[in-house]
Amino acid sequence: MARFPGIRGTGRADRRAPSAGIAWIATLAVSTACGGGGVDDGADVADTGSEDVVLDAADGDSAQPDEGVGAEDVPVVDTPAEEAPNDDASGDELAGEDDGGEADAPGEDVIGDAGDGEAEVAADAPGEDAPAEDAVADDAGPGPDCWNGVVDPGEECDGDPPRDCVTACGSVGSQACVACRWDAICIPPVEVCNGFDDDCLSGADDGFDCILGRTRRCTTSCASTGRQACEPGCTWAVDCTPPPETCNGRDDDCDTVVDNGLECLPGETRPCVLGGCSGTQTCGTACRWDPCDTGPAPANDTCAGVVDLAVGTTVTGTTCGAHDDYFGTCGGGGGGPDVVFRLDVAVATSLQIDTAGTGYDTVLHVHGTCASWDPMTCNDDYSGAETARIDSVFFPRTYYIMLDGKTDAERGPFTLSVTAP
């Protein structure tokens, strides 16, 4: 097949309008003939009237033009880098066959034999679509095997039914297989009554009367404030559930009894006993019994009301109503209520101080000052008994003697003696 300078790679326009290209070749040939250009005996040009490129005949003779250019042969100028192709016996060049080591120029298509031993060269014109068989497909859609029911390489699914997925609101939605890929959208389900947002639209149980499991305030049959529940089906219950009974002087639980089930009614009183003391207990505002009130505190509950003692005397009294103000170093510190006595000693004397005859567990501790927390001496359970007893030499000075209960329950009437054996 002859090659002409300027023909290769001209694009698809040459295929669409071969007359323009051949006319240009004819002009070039005439110009070359007139100017004495070189002649290549390997190929001739057909007459321009038919505007076809004619291949060499089997005997090597050149075809003569019919008209338009003249009777003389039109020489064809080969480019230095090109060689005329080898023609077969029929003069046809088969597309795709080896033509003597020279490949077709890029962009050219061999149309084939025109029926007269001729081959046509065509190229794509710029701007026009390339033939479908030459086009390089982009990833514009599913492959040819999509929807064959088999997940082929590069596919995620193929005819699969929708699968479960998690929606933006956390519900379980549906994801479809589209073009052999799982769709990016997870379609929410229809809203149902379950206390959750299913359709990702307007919150939990939207479209129903209420949210399952929620409650709201309501008025009971006894005029208390109860709660109304959202029941299965997301509808409000018919009944208003009463609240538990509280201490308020009213019937809250609608059982026709005021403040029932509590310890007491506010303001009620009852007798009580604490240690060796009798008293009265009152029901407080929380419907609970207050501590047992054993009466007012004795005068010598603190140092401000101290009672004087003399050697050789015995006194009686009570710790009922007294407080735990002072601590010893024995008997657990004396955790019960206590009273205070004062003893002035003029000369050094051996003394015995005891609580013999007292009906509860007592503790005795002696201090140098009434405000002192560190006693000079202390005794609890003398000789294993609950009676407290101190035997010691007391030098001239003032002493403060505290009579204490061992625990908070150890309280009541007492007896205290100071003797010089």
pLDDT in tens, 176-219: 999 999 999 999 999 999 999 999 999 999 999 999 999 999 99
Q: Which residues contact 257 (CB under 8 A, 6 or more apart)?
A: 251
Question: For the segment 120-172, what is each residue's pLDDT rounded down to a tens digit?
Answer: 433 344 444 444 344 333 444 566 789 899 999 999 999 999 999 999 999 99
pLDDT for the residue 335? 87
E strand or H helix at 226, and its extent?
strand 225-231
User: What does 90-102 look like in DSSP terms, one character per residue?
Assistant: TS---TTS--SS-
Residue 307 contacts residue 371 (beta carbons within 8 Å)? no
Distance, CA of 3 to CA of 6 (rounded, Å): 9
Distance, CA of 70 to CA of 55 (rounded, Å): 19
Question: For the segment 358-375, what is each residue's pLDDT rounded down to a tens digit?
Answer: 999 999 999 999 977 789
Phi, psi of 391 (to 5 degrees): -120, 115
pLDDT for the residue 319? 97
C-alpha distances in Å from residue 200, one per residue of 141, 163, 184, 192, 212: 31, 18, 16, 12, 17
Angle at 178 between CA 172 and CA 179, to 5 degrees: 155
pLDDT for the residue 328? 87
Other residues' Cβ atoms within 10 Å of the Cβ of residue 144: 7
Closest CA to 8 of 122, 129, 126: 122
C-alpha distances in Å from residue 248, one per residue of 16, 51, 71, 262, 268: 104, 117, 133, 11, 14
Question: For the segment 24-83, what is each residue's pLDDT rounded down to a tens digit?
Answer: 333 333 333 444 443 344 333 334 333 333 333 334 343 343 443 343 443 443 443 434
Q: Are strands 349-354 and 413-419 parallel, antiparallel or unpaired?
A: antiparallel
pLDDT for the residue 142? 66
Residue 213 contacts residue 193 (beta carbons within 8 Å)? no
- Residue the block writes with tokens 């503790």: 363
pLDDT for the residue 5? 38
Question: For the segment 231-286, what is each residue's pLDDT rounded down to a tens digit?
Answer: 999 999 999 999 999 999 999 999 999 999 999 999 999 999 999 999 999 999 99
pLDDT for the residue 332? 83
Residue 157 is given by DSSP the state -
Question: Is the CA virtual torsion 11, 17, 20, 21 positive or negative?
Answer: positive
Which residues are bridge partners to 278 per DSSP? 273
pLDDT for the residue 143? 66
**Per-position b or e across 174-208, b if 16+ CB within 10 A of its CB:** bbbbeebebbeebebeebebeeebbbbeeebbeee
pLDDT for the residue 385? 83
Closest CA to 160 of 141, 178, 187: 178
Question: For the segment 397-411, what is each residue's pLDDT rounded down to a tens digit?
Answer: 999 999 999 999 999
CATH of domain 299-419: 2.60.120.380
Residue 111 contacts residue 121 (beta carbons within 8 Å)? yes
pLDDT for the residue 112? 40
Domain with CATH 2.60.120.380 in the chain: 299-419
pLDDT for the residue 384? 77
Residue 153 is given by DSSP the state T
What is the C-alpha radius of gyration for the chain, rounded to an integer number of angstroms? 62
Query: With pLDDT > 70 as the criterion, what percentage of the chain qualifies?
Result: 66
pLDDT for the residue 77? 39
Distance, CA of 17 to CA of 98 (rounded, Å): 27
